[in-house]
Amino acid sequence: MNDTLPTSEALRAALAGLLDGLPPKQAAQAVDRLIASYRGTTPTDAPVLRDRADVVAYAAYRMPATFEAVRAALDALREAAPEWAPATHTDVGGGTGAASWAVAGAWDGTDTTVLDWAEPALALGRELAEAGGPPGLRAARWQRARIGSALELAPTDLVTVSYVLKELTPAARTELADAAAGAAQAVVVVEPGTPDGYARVIEARDRLIAAGMTVAAPCPHSSACPIEPGTDWCHFSARVSRSSLHRQVKGGTLSHEDEKFSYVVATRFPVEPVAARVTRRPQIRKGQVLLELCTRDEALRRETVTKRHGALYRAARDTDWGDAWPPPEQD
């Protein structure tokens, strides 16, 4: 790790310092407005985060969850290409930099550029990074750019696009996916784990494949998704620890929450996708574990692992939603 604290803890500490003294009621009111904005139709000619109050509320409300979702996607990329590491990274629509924190935690020394059209978000992201980010993130460039059809991306090793596509028109989403594919060796797209978010991920996945990229995760293959449109959606879950202020802002009482997300990772270099991916939370019953899998032969299937399977059964009991199956040591 590239800091004295694990990156997730460093982010929480930086957020705590930022939010110290902010009345929870004021932050909660700003969060309510942002939730309403995100659930509605967002104009593509104006950023959602308009001023520092909005950005501070957003940081408390969304950064920990976005960080964990992107970190899970990056873990899948590292699993598929363990020897690869990006020297350069562009965080498109990165806002306050949650995805960039995740990249800084995954690889040491990555040279990051954050692009966003909201200057207050960029300013706060820079402030957070300088307050407690890993060394590479403290040296990041925070640049204002309109995220849409006019965006031009310089060549880079890694592009992340997290929780951005909903804010764009369909045409702009297509152009952004094409621009990312043309600029990067690896592209990571993360969206909310809803039917609409999954649909946007599938659109991006199709564009990345059409541009000659290979799917590294979560899919075990680069063929069409086997889910029949409208019947289901592919999504995963990441556990997010909440600070006391975070609980106040979000109106929750638990020490954690589960962030549901959909994602795709595509690359221009060789990868080894998993043989199968667990696509739902495993059902543990007496003497057996039921696994819902997406497999390398482009199919969805259920696998029942029982005590008779010995070590495989024990591995199944420890397997989580989103994990590879079988585990590496069981291949």
Q: So what's the pLDDT on residue 48?
A: 57
> What are 276's strand-pairing partners?
295
Q: So what's the pLDDT on residue 43?
A: 47
Name the more confident of 186 and 252. Answer: 186
Contacts of 287 (CB under 8 A, 6+ apart): 306, 307
pTM over 0.85: yes
Identify the weakest region by mean pLDDT among 193-202, 209-218, 252-261, 287-296.
252-261
Match 């420890």 to its residue by tokens. Answer: 318
7-267 maps to CATH 3.40.50.150:
yes
Name the more confident of 139 and 249. Answer: 139
Tokens at residue 148, please? 């849409």
CA distance 41 to 246: 26
CA distance 84 to 226: 29
Contacts of 137 (CB under 8 A, 6+ apart): 97, 100, 101, 104, 112, 129
SS3 138: helix
pLDDT tens string 119-164: 888 998 999 999 888 888 999 999 999 987 778 999 999 999 999 9
Tokens at residue 13, please? 């500490």
SS3 158: strand
Q: So what's the pLDDT on residue 254?
A: 55
Q: So what's the pLDDT on residue 44?
A: 47
CA distance 114 to 126: 9
Cis omega before residue 6 (within 30°)?
no
Q: List, by residue range, all CATH 3.40.50.150 domains of the chain.
A: 7-267
Residue count (the chain): 331
Cβ proximity of 216 and 209 under 8 Å = no
* Residue type at position 130: E
Name the more confident of 18 and 152. Answer: 152
Cβ proximity of 81 and 271 under 8 Å = yes
Contacts of 30 (CB under 8 A, 6+ apart): 53, 54, 56, 57, 58
Match 């080894």 to its residue by tokens. Answer: 272
Q: Looking at residues 275-293, what average pLDDT do you find?
A: 96
